[in-house]
Amino acid sequence: MTPAARIQAVIELLDEVVSTPRPADTLASLYFRARRYIGSKDRGAINTRFYRVMREYIRLGWWVNHAGAELNARNVVIAALIFDREHTADSLPMMFSGERFAPEELTEAEQDMAAALEGKNLDDVAMPLRERCECPDWAYDALQRALGARFEEELKAMLSPAPLDLRVNTIKATRADILKQLKAEGYDAHEGKISPLSIRVFGRPQLSQHELYQNGFFEIQDEGSQMVALVADAQPGEQVADFCAGAGGKTLALGASMLNKGRIVAMDVLGGRLERAKERFRRAGLHNIETRALTSERDKYVKRAAGKFDLVLVDAPCSGVGTWRRDPDKRWRQLGPGLEALVPLQKSILDSAYRLVRPGGRLVYATCSLLPEENELQVADFIAAHPDFSVEPVSQKLDVDGVGDFLSLTPGRHDTDGFFAAVLRRKEAPLV
């Protein structure tokens, strides 16, 4: 592909994201699947530019509006080319030529906008803090309260691409073994910073095609997500419920922690995701996992299985604030329910799932959010309503900077996605 054709592809992709209520990675996958003629090198270059534009979208939009231009995909990409110093107002017409596969010729208004932006810096002192940090209006006040003096540092840490982390499947190998093989094959691989199972690989290689991945020796999983499973501390022989199992990432980690002994019931209201997860379980060599589709968080099965589980993990649906560096489009468009719907849903899920916990057992509540409304405040409300549960400080098991009663990981402090987890212990049944 020509450089101009790549630019046109980015414009088309961004236009899809702006106009279609589906995740950006899904739309990108569909885009390339419909254009199999685009080779891997071109695909990589397009994706790199596309995700960079999404990480800069709010700032670019501020400048587009500042220049008096219309906020659309074309203008945002033109602004990105100027601010990234890839083109000048004079060189842009060579890319926007209107020739085959190239973007249409620049309009007079687009040329005026490019000229107005030339020589400016993307981060300008006149730009408000919210825009500089790429923070949406709905989360701005809540994040300032939650992060305090760390607000700007944490938000800017989420402007960088997420790293590539692997979780070694200890059923099949040790971290040292996998690390040794990856290094021998030329990968820039290193031990993770906080998870004893993590390997971080630099350079963004396509490891999903690697034979070790295909044969279940490792999973691709953010180090913060790995820590949630480690905090849950599933033991061999226990009865475990993964109440919001989704695609099974944390279920896999729990199963490995249990050494394939005991039982895990992976539950979710999205039965299709559970079905697809079965292949991941098989590949990992885990045979202590069964799946159960729920009609809702109040499914009749919960009442029938009440008090039968040593550990219940609730990885609750949330705003996903902690994953913004991985899913940058979540900063400036809302695909799912907002906080006004999520917070009551989280409460309802907890108020149902806790029934599965046996006396003396553990309920682990987790999100990939940084917002107190979804984290600490949710736990406080649950404890107030259920005094037979108490917080078991995470710091008793884990020595990580900034971790106390709860697991609270942030991109700026820990170089992970943002994750929260609380371990709640149910009181033992009284002797009779």
Distances (CA, A) of 73 to 7, 16, 86, 130, 413: 11, 9, 17, 21, 33
Structure tokens at 398: 């884990």
| Spatial CA neighbour of 323 closest among 187, 387, 417 | 417
One of 135, 244, 318, 368 is an active-site residue; which one? 368
Distance of alpha carbon 284 from alpha carbon 277, whole angstroms: 11
Which residues face 47 on adjacent strands?
Answer: none
The answer to whether 243 and 292 are in contact (CB under 8 A) is no
Is-catalytic flag, 368?
Answer: yes
Q: Which two tokens stand for residue 66?
A: 């500042």
Q: How far apart are CA 201 and CA 179, in angstroms?
A: 10
Distances in Å between the alpha carbon of 334 and those of 38, 337, 347, 420? Answer: 30, 8, 21, 21
> In the structure encoding, which two tokens stand for residue 379, read together?
């736990």
On whether the CB atoms of residues 221 and 247 are closer than 8 A, the answer is no
What is the SS3 assignment for 25? helix
Catalytic residues: 368
